[in-house]
C-alpha cells in the first residue's frame, strides 16, 4: 500500500579546502550538516538539525556568517477577508506561482547590520528579500473549475499579499529569522541549528552559508538536505491520499463497529 521510500541520497558536504596558496590567503567558509537526510517522525514535534562550519580568515577584517535554508518551492493560494454590506467575506483566491515551503535565516548579527538592502535583495537573503514568483502581468488561471487571480508583482497590492504569505508562514514556524542563530563555538568554528516544524514540506532543501566581510559576500558554501516524513501518522496520511475511497470506507466501518460495540457493552451491564 505504501511505497518504499527512495534510497537516501549521498550526504552532500562542501568539498574540503585544498591546502593551496589560495587557501592560505583567501577568506573562505566551509560547512556541513549533521544529517543530510532528515526524518520528521510521527510524534510531529518536528526535527532539529545542526549545521556546523569553519571560517578561514587570514585577514584582520571581521567576518559575518549567514545561513539560509530554503525548502522546495510550491504555489500558494490566499484569500483576503473584505467587508461587504457588514459581512466579512473572503475574496476570490489569489495565487502566487511559487514560494519556498520553508525558509530560515540564521546569522551572527541582524541581517541589516551585515549587508545593505541592495546586497541582501540581490542575493535573496532574509524573509523580506526572499523570492516569491509572480509574473509582471496579472492574469487568471482556472484550476478544478475555480478561477484564481495570479498575483502580479507590479500590482499595487502585491506587497500586502507578499507580506501576508510571510506572516502566515512565520506563524506556522515555516519562515524564521534568527539574528543570533549562528554561534561561534571556537576560533573560526561555528554552528547553527535548523528547526523543522512538523508541517515542513518534504523534499529537497538547499542550504547556503554566506560569509560577509564589510557588507560584501566573500565566500559561499552550498549544501543540500532531504526531508522525509516517517511514522504511523505519515502512513495514515499517505493512505488517505493514495487510497482515499478505501480509507473512507474503513473510517465508516470503524465508526459503525464502535457504535455497535458500545450498545452491546452497555446493554450487558
Partner 1 sequence: MNWPLLVLLGAVVGFVSGLFGIGGGFLMAPILIFMGIPPAVAVASQASHVVASSTSGVISYTLQKAVDYRIGGVMAAGGVLGALLGVELFRYLRLLGQADLAVALSYLLFLGAIGTLMLYESLGQIMRRVRGEVLPHRERRRPLWLYGLPLRMRFPRSGLYISAIPPFALGAFAGVLSAIMGVGGGFILVPAMLYVLRMKAGVVVGTSLFQIIIVTAMTTILQAGRNQTVDIVLAMILLLGGVVGAQYGAKLSGRFRPDVLRAFLGLIVLLVGIYMGLEMFVRPSDLFAFAPGVPE
Binding site for partner 1 (CB under 8 A): 74-83, 86-93, 143-146, 160-161, 164, 167-168, 233, 236, 240-241, 244-245, 247-252, 254-256, 258-263, 266-267
For the CB of residue 199, give the shortest distance to partner 1 in the complex, in Å.
Answer: 11
Three-class secondary structure of residue 134 per DSSP: coil
Q: CA-to-CA distance for 192 and 212, rounded, in angstroms? A: 16
Cβ distance 37 to 228 under 8 Å? yes
User: Is 13 or 149 the residue whose CB approaches partner 1 more closely?
Assistant: 149
Q: CA-to-CA distance for 245 and 242, rounded, in angstroms? A: 9
User: Is 21 or 144 the residue whose CB approaches partner 1 more closely?
Assistant: 144
Residues facing 184 on adjacent strands: 190
For the CB of residue 263, give the shortest distance to partner 1 in the complex, in Å.
Answer: 4
For the CB of residue 233, give the shortest distance to partner 1 in the complex, in Å.
Answer: 7
For the CB of residue 56, give the shortest distance to partner 1 in the complex, in Å.
Answer: 43
Q: CA-to-CA distance for 78 and 90, rounded, in angstroms? A: 10
User: Is 17 or 98 the residue whose CB approaches partner 1 more closely?
Assistant: 98
For the CB of residue 231, give the shortest distance to partner 1 in the complex, in Å.
Answer: 12
User: Is 188 or 259 the residue whose CB approaches partner 1 more closely?
Assistant: 259
Q: Which three cell numbers stand for residue 113?
A: 547590520
On the CB side of 203, CA atoms within 13 Å amount to 13
**Torsion-angle region of residue 164: left (phi > 0), alpha (psi -120 to 50) or beta?**
alpha
Q: CA-to-CA distance for 55 and 184, rounded, in angstroms? A: 10
User: Is 230 or 249 the residue whose CB approaches partner 1 more closely?
Assistant: 249
For the CB of residue 145, give the shortest distance to partner 1 in the complex, in Å.
Answer: 7
User: Is 185 or 245 the residue whose CB approaches partner 1 more closely?
Assistant: 245
**Torsion-angle region of residue 144: left (phi > 0), alpha (psi -120 to 50) or beta?**
left
Amino acid at each position: 500500500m505504501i511505497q518504499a521510500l527512495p534510497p537516501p541520497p549521498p550526504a552532500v558536504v562542501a568539498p574540503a579546502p585544498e591546502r593551496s596558496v589560495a587557501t592560505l590567503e583567501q577568506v573562505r567558509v566551509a560547512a556541513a550538516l549533521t544529517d543530510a537526510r532528515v526524518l520528521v517522525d510521527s510524534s510531529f514535534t518536528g526535527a532539529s538539525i545542526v549545521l556546523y562550519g569553519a571560517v578561514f580568515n587570514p585577514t584582520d577584517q571581521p567576518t559575518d556568517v549567514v545561513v539560509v535554508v530554503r525548502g522546495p518551492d510550491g504555489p500558494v493560494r490566499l484569500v483576503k477577508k473584505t467587508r461587504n454590506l457588514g459581512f466579512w467575506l473572503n475574496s476570490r483566491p489569489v495565487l502566487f506561482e511559487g514560494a519556498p515551503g520553508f525558509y530560515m535565516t540564521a546569522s551572527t548579527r541582524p541581517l541589516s547590520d551585515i549587508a545593505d538592502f541592495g546586497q541582501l535583495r540581490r542575493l535573496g537573503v532574509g524573509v523580506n528579500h526572499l523570492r516569491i514568483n509572480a509574473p509582471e502581468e496579472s492574469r487568471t488561471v482556472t484550476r478544478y473549475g475555480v478561477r484564481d487571480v495570479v498575483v502580479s508583482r507590479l500590482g499595487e497590492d502585491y506587497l500586502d499579499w507578499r507580506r501576508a504569505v510571510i506572516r502566515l508562514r512565520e506563524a506556522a514556524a515555516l519562515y524564521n529569522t534568527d539574528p543570533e542563530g549562528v554561534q561561534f563555538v571556537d576560533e573560526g568554528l561555528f554552528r547553527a541549528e535548523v528547526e523543522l516544524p512538523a508541517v515542513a514540506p518534504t523534499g529537497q532543501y538547499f542550504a547556503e552559508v554566506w560569509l560577509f566581510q564589510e557588507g560584501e559576500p566573500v565566500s559561499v558554501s552550498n549544501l543540500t538536505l532531504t526531508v522525509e516524513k516517517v511514522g504511523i501518522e505519515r502512513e495514515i496520511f499517505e493512505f488517505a491520499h493514495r487510497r482515499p475511497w478505501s480509507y473512507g470506507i474503513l473510517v465508516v466501518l470503524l465508526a459503525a463497529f464502535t457504535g455497535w460495540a458500545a450498545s452491546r457493552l452497555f446493554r450487558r451491564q
